[in-house]
A and B are shown apart, each in its own frame.
Chain A
Amino acid sequence: MAPNRIIYVDNASTTQIDKRVLVSMNPFLGPVYANPSSIYSSGLKAKEAIEKSREMIAEFLDAKSQEIIFTAGGTEANNLAIFGSTSGLQKGKIITTAIEHPSVLRPLERLEKNGFEIVKIKPKKNGVIEVEEVKKNLDRNTVLVSIMYANNEIGTIQPIAEVAKIIKKFNSQRLALNARPILFHSDACQATQYLAMNTKKLGVDMMTINGSKIHGPKGTGVLFVKEGVKIEPQTLGGDQEYGLRPGTENVAGIVGLAKAVALIDKADIAKTKKIRDYIISELLKIKGTWLNGCRRRRLPNNINISFRGVEGESLVLYLDRKNIFASTGSACSSRSLEPSHVITAISNREIAHSSLRITLGRYNTLSEAKIIVSEIKKSVEKLRGVS
């Protein structure tokens, strides 16, 4: 009944691994199995592969090798950034946004329970925060600001370089008082493939990358930690990753992640944008339809749209029947029974329940986009007939 082809448009969730990434990983899943900490030749070979990968990623981020900490994914990197940078503090103020990924919000909520003050800035209706909101919340108690580069659900891009400038200015005034500078962390998991990732220009102190979002392997990530920024490890037991992330390294994963980063071609962006814009403009022709998040300040691969009278899980399952794989902010597809906190923050629960997220990747084409649009139109019509 379902057609033979598969159209995968859930790339914000995870991506198909690039074959070239797979090839780069193979030796380290096979013959080069020695522990990179070992001093004999095979161990050195594994170690060399890690360090070469570290250099590749450092170059991509315009950073130093020693600023790259490999982790087992974005969630771990976000946890390390938040807990690692607040370790040893009893209290303090942390500024974030209401639309962060749970791997930022849940650690912050734990800190809140332990005595920290957490300020969650609400974005404007278009899903973008006001820099002014950050500025007016900075004070002498502030220890950390964590703001995502681009949102995983609605794809909106936050002005993190401007936020970094404001923090820098505030810190320079504070330096005279010998106070601890405010650190700035950004979760850049969704941004890596599409936006400028130069850490010097962005002005971040810490930044998170995730391999599985960029056609790399799952369970791989990076926390960039600027030289001079002191963080404490959250797991103990070895000297790997400058002592910040102990444990025998995932050599194949690290090599694959570096390869995935090296394969990022910003020339692909124009093609992705064209497909995105086609889908958005076609879907908005359907009556009773809203685009969630700013149309302009938006990742090239993100479409998040709500259809009146159509519940998101139902639509995802109707599309699944046509081998089109997308996702929704409806509660019905989440584990919590609560609809998307992101869409709820910029509109309301009803729109969140009716949302469909389509996120493009390297392999999507315009002809797939045409099939997606036509199948969505049919499914929306059918589900509206039922509601």
Chain B
Amino acid sequence: MNKDYDVIDIKGKRFLYSDKVEDHFFNPRNVLDNGANLDQFNARAEVGSPACGDVMKIYLLIDPETEKILDFKWKTFGCASAIASTSVLSEIVIGKTIKQAYKTTAGDIIKELSGLPKKKIHCSVLGDQALRKAIDDFRKNQSAVK
């Protein structure tokens, strides 16, 4: 994992996390609407389990010609850092090609969130895995079509 992010210390803070996490946690971006038509997406993935306390589902719309990620919607059951990390990931990858997006690491997500508390780093950042799984799903479907 990329190590160039900060480990946030809660000393003297009024919130457990960075301002960036706080913002994404309370105002999550690109959440899948309840009742949304899932047929509009051509790649999806789910990682985590309720027993472990984190479940992340992501839905991508990828342009088959340019392989650009046109849309990224998600649902996350989890703590503040799990919700914020999925939200921030959606902003990172929309507009990127799947080749670029595939390289996204947990470290990139944590850096974008201005750091996470140490104990949260390994458990709550599942987005990069979900993303790669969804892209693999897309590639598999594409080769099946061909």
Given contacts A311-B79, A314-B78, contact A332 B53 (CB under 8 A): yes
Stretch at the interface among A186-194, A261-269, A293-301, A346-354: A346-354
Say how far A346's CB is from chain B's closest CB, in angstroms: 15
Q: Mark B11-22, 1 if CB is under 8 A from A, else 0.
A: 000011000000
Q: Tell me the nearest residue of chain A to B78, going by C-beta.
A: A311
Q: Tell me the nearest residue of chain B to A317, going by C-beta.
A: B80
**B25 CB contacts on chain A under 8 angstroms:** 314, 317
| Cα distance, A311 to B25, chains bound together (Å) | 13
Among candidates B16, B31, B53, B123, residue contacting A386 with C-beta atoms closer than 8 Å: B31
Which B residues between 26 and 50 are near A, CB-CB below 8 angstroms? Answer: 26, 28, 31, 34, 50
Which B residues between 68 and 100 are near A, CB-CB below 8 angstroms? Answer: 75-80, 82-83
Q: Is B51 an interface residue (CB 8 A)?
A: yes
**A321 CB contacts on chain B under 8 angstroms:** 26
List 27 interface pairs A-B (beta carbons < 8 Å), by A numbering: A309-B77, A310-B77, A311-B53, A311-B79, A311-B82, A314-B79, A314-B83, A317-B15, A317-B16, A317-B80, A318-B26, A332-B78, A332-B79, A332-B80, A332-B120, A332-B124, A335-B119, A337-B123, A339-B53, A349-B50, A349-B51, A350-B50, A350-B51, A353-B53, A386-B31, A387-B75, A387-B77
Say how far B124's CB is from chain A's closest CB, in angstroms: 7
| Cα distance, A386 to B27, chains bound together (Å) | 10
Instruction: Tell me if A386 and B119 are in contact (CB < 8 A).
Output: no
Q: Mark A300-336, 1 if CB is under 8 A from B, else 0.
A: 0000000001110110011001000000001111010
**A318 CB contacts on chain B under 8 angstroms:** 26
Instruction: Tell me if B51 and A348 are in contact (CB < 8 A).
Output: yes
Q: Is B52 an interface residue (CB 8 A)?
A: yes
Chain B interface, number of residues (Cβ within 8 angstroms): 25
Say how far A57's CB is from chain B's closest CB, in angstroms: 37
Given contacts A311-B82, A335-B119, A337-B119, contact A386 B51 (CB under 8 A): no
**B7 CB contacts on chain A under 8 angstroms:** none
Q: Is A385 an interface residue (CB 8 A)?
A: yes
Say how far A296's CB is from chain B's closest CB, in angstroms: 29
| Cα distance, A353 to B48, chains bound together (Å) | 13
Given contacts A332-B124, A337-B123, contact A386 B76 (CB under 8 A): yes
| Cα distance, A330 to B79, chains bound together (Å) | 9
**A349 CB contacts on chain B under 8 angstroms:** 50-53
**B50 CB contacts on chain A under 8 angstroms:** 349-350, 353
Given contacts A331-B53, A332-B124, A350-B51, contact A386 B79 (CB under 8 A): no
**B76 CB contacts on chain A under 8 angstroms:** 386-387
| Cα distance, A321 to B120, chains bound together (Å) | 21
Say how far B27's CB is from chain A's closest CB, in angstroms: 11
Say how far B85's CB is from chain A's closest CB, in angstroms: 13
Q: Mark A345-365, 1 if CB is under 8 A from B, else 0.
A: 000111001000000000000
Q: Tell me the nearest residue of chain A to B120, going by C-beta.
A: A332
**B78 CB contacts on chain A under 8 angstroms:** 311, 314, 332, 387
Say how far A349's CB is from chain B's closest CB, in angstroms: 4
Instruction: Tell me if B16 and A311 are in contact (CB < 8 A).
Output: no
| Cα distance, A105 to B34, chains bound together (Å) | 44
Q: Tell me the nearest residue of chain B to A349, going by C-beta.
A: B51
Q: Tell me the nearest residue of chain B to A333, going by C-beta.
A: B79
Question: Beyond the given A335-B119, A387-B78, could you list 19 further A-B residue pairs with CB under 8 A, ordered by the A residue number?
Answer: A310-B77, A311-B54, A311-B78, A317-B80, A321-B26, A332-B78, A332-B80, A332-B120, A339-B53, A349-B51, A349-B52, A350-B50, A350-B51, A353-B50, A353-B53, A385-B31, A385-B34, A386-B76, A387-B75
